Chain A
Amino acid sequence: MSFQAHKDIVEDDVMSRDRIIEMIRQIEDFFKPYPENRRIEGMRNHLRTYWDPRMREQLIHMSEGGKYLFSPAIISTVNLLKDEQTKSSYYGPPKI
């Protein structure tokens, strides 16, 4: 992606949508070897711990409306993220 990428910004976005997609896909790749429920929890914990809330909001926003084809794991993560806003962060393997 070059610096041209910032052109795909929609109102209220904190950054380029391409960047958000690239990052969430990389995170998904890492957690793939874990069984499904742990994979989703690992992704949720990662986003809750390391992503500015506006980036999480943007991801949630992007997952709605069907414009982007996110994988089932990313959709499940987004749902978990919405449900468990207050769950605290941790380091290490995903805990269910």
Chain B
Amino acid sequence: MSNPRKPEQSVTTTCAYCGVGCGFKAETISGKIVRMTPWKEGKANHGHSCVKGRFAFDYYNHADRVRKPLIRSSISDEWREVTWDEAFNYAASELKRIQLKYGKKSVGAVSSSRCTNEEIFLTQKFARAVLGNNNIDNCARICHSPTQFGLTSTVGWGAASQHFDSILQADVIVVVGANPTEGHPVFGSLMKRRIREGAKLIVIDPRKTETVTSAHCKADIHLAIRPGTNVAILDSIAHVVVKEELYNQQFIDQRCEVDEFHNWCALVSAERYAPEVIGPQCGVDPELIYAAARLYASGPNSAIYYGLGVTEHSQGSTGVMCLGNLALSCGMLGREGVGVNPLRGQGNVQGGSCLGSWPHVFSGYRFVSDKPTRDSFEHEWGVPLDPEPGLRLPNMFDAALAGTFKAMYIMGEDPVQSDPNQNHVIEAFKNMECVILHDLFLNETSKYAHIFLPGSSSLEKDGTFTNAERRVSRVRKVVEPIAGYQDWQIVLKLMNKMGYAVAYDNAGEVLDEIARLSPAYRGMSFDLIDKVGSVQWPCDENAPHGTEVLHREKFPRANGLGTFMLTEYVPTREKTSDRYPMLLTTGRILSQYNVGTQTRRTANQIWHPEDVLEINVEDATQRSISDGDFVTIKSKFGETELRAKISTRVNPGIVYTTFHHAKSKANAVTSDLSDWATNCPEYKVTAVDVIPKNITNLIYESIASHEKIDQLGN
């Protein structure tokens, strides 16, 4: 792209594409963005960037952007353009009507990790203070909710213990169910740099990912487990740590609940977790399990990085606890170069988690059932608040199917495309009387919406993002909002129309309120961030400029000690059978972002024009599938079609795809099983069969003709 003219203006802001949260200088000519230049002072990226942040910004000005609010009384009607006032009035009157008819708890809200902290905070305030219930959730439900639960249970806070640069002190790097070179590329480069310097790499992943083998990246140990066996393999590693006494007794004595440590030892040292037993179950050589355990425990600095391959399972929370247990037992917490670190998917998943967009906790992970916490919010917000947890996103859909949930306000999400068991979600939406969708583009969910509020991209608003290392950075308005309002203003106006009087002059005032109500954010303000660049929480009087490494002296639990959870392996109920003999697992690639709403509308499209199904040559041959053939993927939940790609990255019995394109409908086949604790869907394991498209047609034709013959016979 030639750029002969010198940009007139440059605004420093934060990329929204992944949990790395790179600092960028957005450069404009005549009010149009012409270039994104990585910011050298950015503490998350130090002047580096990837192909999404650097090039995929054109979507903001795309012709498909909705520029005026839309309404309709039924989803079978055409959309009608209306003024903002009309849209707000209609939304408010519908929400009030439905609450009057079906009860206060028949409505709810969902916020997005693509939105700013301020917007996420206001959305929970909208649900709790204005709708008067705790039916508020966010998209972390379907990705990292087990992180919040699993890490809080063991080490006290559901967040990365380290800053990204900490990896430069690591001697052993363990990557579990993540693919940083594709999913978190800028952090991936930092990891590769450390590997070039000699750090050892252990990867636990069913697929031979780019992190296992690519330029400057070779895993020393790759545990290519069968999908769904994370907890088994992690307990088996723990088994070796305990049996060979590789744990750090001094750390356990000083920093942990010793009784719980002993209980944990008793569980994992059981014979059923011996590598010789677990290895065959997971499809891994037992010797590799021994080697991984010894390498991790020997450090001296071992750091764990994990992604959705851990969380998106029926035992997702248990898997996260396993990682917490393991790090505590080997003393791999509380200093540079170690830790347990979730790699967050979207730009602001950590913020979404921190700021109370959960049905059971306010900002700062404090329970709605806790009276002193509730008192502080009631005092600030001036209304009584519900002391009981609300419905989680999947529960909202279940309740909608039962007819007890009737309206949803969705900020920047596309549940029809992104949530599991698509048919179930669509049925749920059809059962609702009012769906308010607030987004940039009409998407799959808008087909079932009654009100569409055109939002603003992160280039059009002010606020903050919290990245995967707890770093709070400024999002600054580069261009004017295309549809007229910044997203936080839209939520505010909706609150006002519902009769709740509150005013903020700017997003900074929302952050001030967050600081008053959330201990870890107490010292945060736009002023502070403008002054020092970015601030990692906790930020308070003890740490006025934030905290790089957590847990240095104690854990944020009541007694200050880390603790061990008992993590029995419970195999998923999703099992292969004669009918569905293969396991489908899902993931993503570098050039596209999530459901692709943004990146598909940029030139990045040329790198990944469609989702493909990776299949091992052995399985492909058995099924007469050639590279590039269209295949049908069927599960008991549904079916879809994709182009097959013969790949050595997946083992026999496993197929893999991405979900960046709506037309590939990957979630038509995914299972609706979910994590036992958080209901995070089990995206990573679905039993399927793969049939070449031409054969499928033959089968269907033959069934059809048989039916015809039957009918004739009758």
Contacts and interface: CB of A to CB of B under 8 A. Distances in A.
Contacts of B399: 14-15
A52 B563 contact: no
Contacts of A48: 369
Nearest to B388: A53
Nearest to A29: B570
A54 B360 CA distance: 14
Interface string A19-47: 10001001101101110000000000010
A2 interface: yes
Interface in B316-359: 318, 359
A50 interface: yes
B343 to A, nearest CB: 22
Interface string B389-431: 1111001001101111000000000000000010110011000
B367 A30 contact: no
Interface residues of B, number: 49
B564 interface: yes
A16 interface: yes
B96 interface: no
B586 interface: no
B424 A3 contact: yes
B389 A52 contact: yes
Nearest to B422: A3
B570 to A, nearest CB: 5
> Does more than half of chain B's interface fall in helix, strand or loop, or is it mixed?
loop
Most buried by B among A15, A33, A34: A15
Given A29-B570, A92-B563, A93-B563, A13 B402 contact: yes
B357 to A, nearest CB: 15
Contact of A93 (B260, B390, B427): B260
A49 interface: yes
Contact of A52 (B153, B391, B568): B391
A2 B420 CA distance: 11
B370 interface: yes
B637 interface: yes
A50 B398 contact: no
Interface residues of A, number: 33
A6 interface: yes
B672 A1 contact: yes
A88 B152 contact: no
Contact of B369 (A2, A29, A89): A89
B545 to A, nearest CB: 28
Contact of A15 (B135, B401, B564): B401
A2 B359 CA distance: 25
B570 A15 contact: no
Nearest to B398: A15
- Find the residue from B359, B395, B568 having the highest chain A CB count within 10 A: B395
Contacts of A13: 402, 404
A8 B428 CA distance: 15
Contacts of B149: 91
A46 B678 CA distance: 10
B636 interface: yes
A34 B565 CA distance: 10
Nearest to A56: B388
A91 to B, nearest CB: 5
A56 to B, nearest CB: 9
Nearest to B424: A3
A33 B398 contact: no
B538 to A, nearest CB: 17
B269 to A, nearest CB: 13
B271 to A, nearest CB: 15
Contact of B677 (A5, A15, A30, A89): A30
A14 B404 CA distance: 6
Nearest to A9: B402
Contacts of B318: 30
A75 interface: no
A33 B314 contact: no
Contacts of B105: 52, 54
A3 B421 contact: yes
In this complex, which of A19, A51, A52 has the most chain B Cβ atoms within 10 angstroms of its Cβ? A52
B401 A33 contact: no
B267 interface: yes
Contacts of B257: 93
A96 to B, nearest CB: 13
Contacts of B263: 93
A53 B403 CA distance: 17
A38 to B, nearest CB: 9
Given A9-B402, A46-B677, A32 B568 contact: yes
Contacts of B196: none
Contacts of B421: 2-3
A29 B636 CA distance: 24
A83 B518 CA distance: 32
Given A3-B427, A91-B153, A15 B370 contact: no
Most buried by A among B402, B563, B570: B402
A50 B677 contact: yes
A1 B682 CA distance: 13
B700 interface: no
Given A26-B676, A93-B564, A49 B402 contact: no
A55 interface: yes
A46 B568 CA distance: 17
B80 interface: no
A51 B391 CA distance: 7
Closest 3 CB pairs of A and B: A26-B676, A6-B401, A3-B424
Interface of B: 105, 135, 149, 152-154, 156, 257, 260, 263, 267, 314, 318, 359-360, 367, 369-370, 388-392, 395, 398-399, 401-404, 421, 423-424, 427-428, 557, 563-566, 568, 570, 636-637, 672, 676-679
17 contacts: A2-B424, A3-B421, A9-B402, A15-B398, A15-B399, A19-B398, A27-B677, A29-B570, A29-B676, A33-B267, A46-B677, A49-B369, A54-B404, A88-B369, A91-B152, A93-B260, A93-B263
Interface of A: 1-3, 5-6, 9, 13-16, 19, 23, 26-27, 29-30, 32-34, 46, 48-55, 88-89, 91-93
Given A52-B135, A92-B557, 8 more contacts: A26-B676, A48-B369, A49-B360, A52-B390, A53-B389, A88-B369, A89-B360, A92-B563
